[in-house]
Amino acid sequence: MNNNDLKLEKYSFGVGDRFARQAKAQLRACMQAGAQGVEVIPVWNKSYREHTVVGSKPGSVRAAAEAAVRDLAWTKPFHVDADHIRLEIVDEFIESSDFYTLDVADAIGQRADSNDVEDFVNRHPELVGKLEIPGIDESFDTSRAEIESIGGKYLHAIQEAGRIYRHIASVKGTGSFITEVSMDETDSPQTPAELLVILAAIADENIPAQTIAPKFTGRFNKGVDYVGDVSQFEKEFNEDLAVIAHAVTTHELPKNLKLSVHSGSDKFSIYRPIRNARSATGAGIHVKTAGTNWLEELIGMAESGGEALLLVKEIYGKALDDIDALCAPYATVIDIDRSKLPRKDEVNAWSSEQFISALRHDQQKKEFNPNFRQLLHVGYKVAAKMGDRYLNMLEACEQAVTRNVVENLYDRHLKPLFIGNGSR
Ligand SMILES: [Zn+2]
């Protein structure tokens, strides 16, 4: 990487929302962190999947971000992430993005050319044998056969990332954008040895990756807390940090390469281990958490009562009618127990408080219903279909919505991740 290449700052935070109405509120949350002395740079992201469901275009994300930055006179950097991009869809994101998350999960496991694997292992004798990585207690032994097998599993995927990277670089110009490589949407977490191989391969492909999103242990269901063994997560997270720190000293990789956590929003129980690891090592971090701003919109509207409360109840009713279709694109990242979903007539009789208590992500409250929350989380298509009816009501409830978006992002995310509040 050259000095004038676009660099991702140490702490960055993936934000964004389905309907591109909350950019200002999201920026306000970053400003609150700034007021506490922690610079967290917003990265607006919206995946191709979300654009497809909502019917929006990538340019709308940058437009909303720029308007917020202008209105609130934000002078620090901000970025616009083309999230989970593949070669077939990248062109739509060329103009509006300066951050590209190259998604190679689908290519993992497609066998690499055996000559390529052979060459790779020959090029990297340092990967074979007894490996000691500062920060990882036990040293581990790898055989040539193991490294060949790992190479066979991942090389093709990294070559694919190289193709996407070079395509973007050929139209935008080298150094003018930030590159992330993601492999989180796959079945099993990568071991330290796998991550070492992956990073060596990324260096070989000359991909100047500034962040990498591995798959972690446990379930990262959309919009609800982490399901899994937090201490195992903590171990893996720290090992990944150590492997990255080691790889940037041994390979041609950007020195600011950092871990990216695709949280699927609201993984509160792993925030403490992330914060501890971050402060113990001084490592940078990128955390994506965007999807639940839409739920804060619903909470703000429910709070407003009257017609707005009726509208959010209607959204739930329609989501329930259409549950199979709404859940299908998210099948691997939601766990809804349908027997625990409230019936339409029950919800229709709810007060604002009842609706909010069931939806808001407060696990202390016994009324909180993660099934209800997850269904609404994937139910944004219902609101998209309502079009102006939804957007006009959203505007009418702007004050309550903004308050909820800001409070949620700052109190439940930025604070525990970057500042600490003693209780988590
Ligand atoms: Zn992801």
CA-closest candidate to residue 159, choices 119, 107, 109:
107
Q: How far is the CA of 12 from the centre of ligand 1 (A)?
A: 15
150 & 282 share domain: yes
310 & 285 share domain: no
301 & 370 share domain: yes
305 & 275 share domain: no
> In the numeric block, which tokens belong to residue 309?
């409360």
Residue 424's pLDDT is what?
Answer: 40
314 & 254 share domain: no
Q: How far is the CA of 182 from the centre of ligand 1 (A)?
A: 6
Q: How far is the CA of 243 from the centre of ligand 1 (A)?
A: 20
Q: How far is the CA of 348 from the centre of ligand 1 (A)?
A: 35
The answer to whether residue 206 sits within a structural domain is yes
Beta-bridge partner residues of 286: 12, 260
**Mean pLDDT value across the chain:** 94
Q: Which of 290, 316, 337 is the last residue of a domain?
A: 290
358 & 238 share domain: no
Angstrom distance (rounded) from CA 58 to CA 79 = 13
Q: How far is the CA of 122 from the centre of ligand 1 (A)?
A: 32
The answer to whether residue 265 sits within a structural domain is yes
Q: How far is the CA of 399 from the centre of ligand 1 (A)?
A: 31
Percent of the chain with pLDDT over 90: 88
Q: Which domain holds residue 133?
A: 11-290
The answer to whether residue 365 sits within a structural domain is yes
The answer to whether residue 3 sits within a structural domain is no
| Residue 342 CB partners (closer than 8 Å, separation 6+) | 358, 369, 372
User: Model confidence at 1, in pLDDT bands (50, 70, 90)?
Assistant: confident
Q: What is the pLDDT of residues 31-79, one digit of tens each?
A: 999 999 999 999 999 888 889 989 999 999 999 999 999 999 999 999 9
Residue 423 pLDDT > 70, yes or no?
no
The answer to whether residue 421 sits within a structural domain is no
Q: How far is the CA of 47 from the centre of ligand 1 (A)?
A: 9
Residue 422's pLDDT is what?
Answer: 47
Angstrom distance (rounded) from CA 37 to CA 419 = 9
283 & 316 share domain: no
300 & 283 share domain: no
Averaged pLDDT, 79-106: 94
pTM assigned to the model: 0.94
Residue 137's pLDDT is what?
Answer: 86
User: Model confidence at 421, in pLDDT bands (50, 70, 90)?
Assistant: low
Q: How far is the CA of 184 from the centre of ligand 1 (A)?
A: 5
Residue 16 pLDDT > 50, yes or no?
yes
Angstrom distance (rounded) from CA 287 to CA 416 = 12
Around ion ligand 1, which residues have CB less than 5 A away? Answer: 184, 262
338 & 280 share domain: no
Strands (E), 204-247: 209-213
Residue 370 pLDDT > 50, yes or no?
yes
CA-closest candidate to residue 111, choices 74, 179, 159, 78:
159
Domain count, the chain: 2
Q: How far is the CA of 81 from the centre of ligand 1 (A)?
A: 12
How many other CB atoms are there within 10 angstroms of residue 136's CB atom?
A: 18
Angstrom distance (rounded) from CA 361 to CA 75 = 32
The answer to whether residue 417 sits within a structural domain is no
